[in-house]
Homo-oligomer: A and B are copies of this chain.
Amino acid sequence: MLSTQTIGSRSRRFDAPEKALGRERFASDEYPESMLWAGALRAGVPHGLVRGVDTTQARAIPGVVAVLTAEDVPGENRQGFIHWDMPVLCGTKVRHAGDAVALVVAETRQILAEALLAIVLDIEPLPVVDGLDAALAPDAPLIHDLETGNVLKQASLRKGNAQAALARCPVVIEETFFTPQQAHCFLETENGTAYMAEDGTLHMTVSTQAPFRDRFEIGRALGLPPDRLHITAPFLGGGFGGKDGSTVQCLLALAAMHAGGRPVKMWWSREESMLAGYKRHAARMHFRLGAEADGTLTALICDLDYDSGAYAHLGVEIMALGLEHSSGPYRVEHLEANGRCIYTNNPVAGAFRGFGVAQVCFAFEGMMDRLAVRLGMDPLELRLKNAIRQGDKNGVGVVMTGSTGMAECLVGLQDHQFWRSRDEWVQSAPPLTRRGVGISAVYNGMGYGRGLADAAVAKIRLTGDGRFRVYNSVSDMGQGNSPTFVQIVCEVLNQNESQMELVQPDTERSHPSGSSSAGRTTYTYGKALIQACEAMRDKLLHRAAMVLMADEASALSLVPGAVRHTSSGRELPLAVLAGMLHPEDRVCIGEAMMPVTHDMPDGGESFRLGFPHLIFPYAAHLARVEVDELTGLVTVSDYVAFTDGGRVLNPQNFEQQVQGAVAQGLGYALWEDCVAENGQLQTTDFSTYVIPGSGDLPDIESHAVETEEESGPFGMKGIGEVGMNGPLPAVASALLRMGLPMIRAPFTPERVLKVLCGGNS
């Protein structure tokens, strides 16, 4: 562990002033001169054969620069980066109502809207596959021409012999749970600008979580060489997984190829974002859990069905994480986890914070609460008894060699006054109000997992005038990884923030470091950055030794703005030193890869990518919940989260991440649901798709349980996702304690009232 000065302190975020003053430029702030607008015509039909797209009238409108259809797509016309099955523009078939069938480039947004309306679509409707049951029916229409029907991927993981073990268990719990499709609802919807330069390079500024990978996705889809694609990713106004993969990118690039070198802007409206953007997979999860009479967990058999919507995106990998996390952060000796990722004509599902895990945490924690009730055990004691500890094997047989703070988080809750006083609080409920205190214990694998390099390449430059330019190359969606990078550089080089400059990802200035996802950004890039900074420090001390005539670099130290000869106090300003170095010599590049496990359960080999994981952050959440017995309205009045994210680099950022995730998780628990009827989205904007505002949320207390993850930068682990997984099961736990066994989220008043009245949720 390095000794630290700014690391661990609640320092102001480097990006805060520019953002607070409204000066930070997001992709959507780009309005280049002589700019055109591009927009896509959506199918409107959830499933159908494209008979014709008549663009004649649209083309005739003055100010329309181009009207493009599938025929105009020069490449493979398939988007996606692991399973590429989504057309840029559909030419033969549409598979969900948001499929793009035509692309218009126009002088103004008004002309664009007019031209889109003027395109005449001839689509022959096919029967709509509106959900899992419809997709799995023997005579279900095939959405893609797969031999496996509408099942994109089926897989089973096995550890021990779950069937036999379950048969022997004195206590067996069985239940089926359902989670909804959730929308990311970032403030800044999908957008970007692009132009094709005379040399054939396509320059794009886009709100993306994966600028480096975008080059390959766009390149393949449109037949462009990836090295002629230059992607810049400014700060994002939110991402949460919804910008991990092409949204506007391919359409925008195609538009730019037909814009005669002029810049083109595409910016989806909220409605288009809801219709065509990626969503969290809805899931159906059947669990059978066996335990000993003392509460020791023995065996789990579960069947998970994920609704992938019309296309694959990362559905297979998301299902893999669901299976991987299906037995929760506990020791369970025998596991059989079966999963299916299933095509429907619903909106396309994809990456979302909690990536397949948020779903199973609801289910497994629901099983734990039911088991506690069955055994008459304290639900926290039951969790603590089974909580996974360092050295244990997790559900899929991976030995937890890293920091494992699950028990510490639970102990934190146990000591919290809200837990200790839970009975008094419940008993003092006002009339017609039920109260319950629920808890959840959750975790979330960090990083890509096995099968591909979770790698980063960090760069730092000493500028010609002696400042440090930090090149972030993993998008900052707002989570604050990039100001943390500034903090890391200040720490290792012993500099002040006033000496720092921060550059956001740019494929021509920074180096491939993967996507902003999977709780990996600060971990992987931070490790690489520390290496780059240490190389820079060594370089500067070494070079300064030559100038200051010191025969040992150890006689020197970095101080803000200078190298100091420690004993004599002589200083060489960094601005002077910088002037002596070649530009090439003022750059340090470091690289890092996240470690992987070599443990693998039976069946795990079938996942080429992203399974299993080695390092996990953990969290234990508590919700004080009230239910109005007359309306079924659920109110979360207090919320507490204990989180093990290893060492905390900046308590403020840490807290913000936890609070943001809990807010999103409470939305998932209580309100958010993309409702599609017969494949047509009903929740098209924020009047029907409800996300919590600050008035809907309790204060969210965040406590860090600081373990030391030895592999991590300064001992940290990424907590971008884990906080998302706790609220839904914690609220469900509270409801169960008050006699309301909810199996279907979100817990709307209607559903709760039904259970209050003795029905099922």
Contact = CB atoms under 8 A, between A and B. Distances in A.
A455 B545 contact: yes
Interface string A427-460: 0000000000000000000001111111101000
Interface string A535-579: 100110011011001111100000000000000000000000001
A593 interface: yes
Contact of A591 (B227, B453, B539, B609): B539
Contact of A542 (B450, B535, B543, B593): B593
Interface centre among A453, A538, A543, A553 (most CB of B within 10 A): A453
A587 interface: yes
Contacts of A512: 543, 546
A66 interface: no
Interface string A565-602: 00000000000000110101101010101011000000
A545 B587 contact: no
A551 B584 contact: no
B452 A511 contact: no
Contact of A551 (B451, B552, B579): B451
Given A549-B452, A551-B450, A585 B580 contact: no
Contact of A453 (B448, B452, B551): B551
A711 to B, nearest CB: 13
B591 A542 contact: yes
A453 to B, nearest CB: 4
Nearest to A450: B551
B545 A593 contact: yes
Contacts of A584: 584, 587, 589
Nearest to A552: B596
Interface centre among A542, A546, A550 (most CB of B within 10 A): A546
Contacts of A580: 227
Contacts of A551: 448-454, 593, 596
A449 B552 CA distance: 11
Contacts of A596: 551-552
A552 B448 CA distance: 12
A450 B550 CA distance: 8
Nearest to A508: B582
Nearest to A511: B585
Total identical chains: 2
A622 B233 CA distance: 72
Contacts of A591: 538-539, 542-543
A310 B682 CA distance: 97
Contacts of A453: 542, 545-546, 549-553
A553 B594 CA distance: 10
Contacts of A535: 535
Interface in A496-549: 508, 511-512, 535, 538-539, 542-543, 545-546, 549
B589 A585 contact: yes
Contacts of A587: 584
B593 A455 contact: no
Contacts of A595: 552
Nearest to A598: B552
A508 to B, nearest CB: 8
B549 A451 contact: yes
A82 to B, nearest CB: 10
Contacts of A455: 542, 545-546
A650 to B, nearest CB: 27
Contacts of A538: 591
Contact of A552 (B582, B585, B593): B593
Contacts of A550: 453
Interface centre among A448, A450, A454, A545 (most CB of B within 10 A): A545
Nearest to A553: B593
A457 B539 CA distance: 9
A576 to B, nearest CB: 12
Contacts of A546: 452-453, 455, 512
A189 to B, nearest CB: 30
A753 B538 CA distance: 61
A512 B547 CA distance: 11
Contacts of A609: 549
A546 B454 CA distance: 8
Contacts of A449: 551
A541 to B, nearest CB: 9
A376 to B, nearest CB: 45
Contact of A457 (B450, B549, B585): B585
Interface centre among A538, A545, A593 (most CB of B within 10 A): A593
A552 B449 CA distance: 11
Nearest to A509: B582
Interface in A449-494: 449-455, 457
Contacts of A457: 542-543, 585
Contacts of A227: 579-580
Nearest first, the 4 closest Cβ-Cβ pairs linking A and B are A453-B545, A542-B591, A551-B596, A453-B546
9 contacts: A452-B546, A452-B549, A453-B542, A511-B582, A511-B585, A549-B609, A551-B593, A552-B595, A584-B589
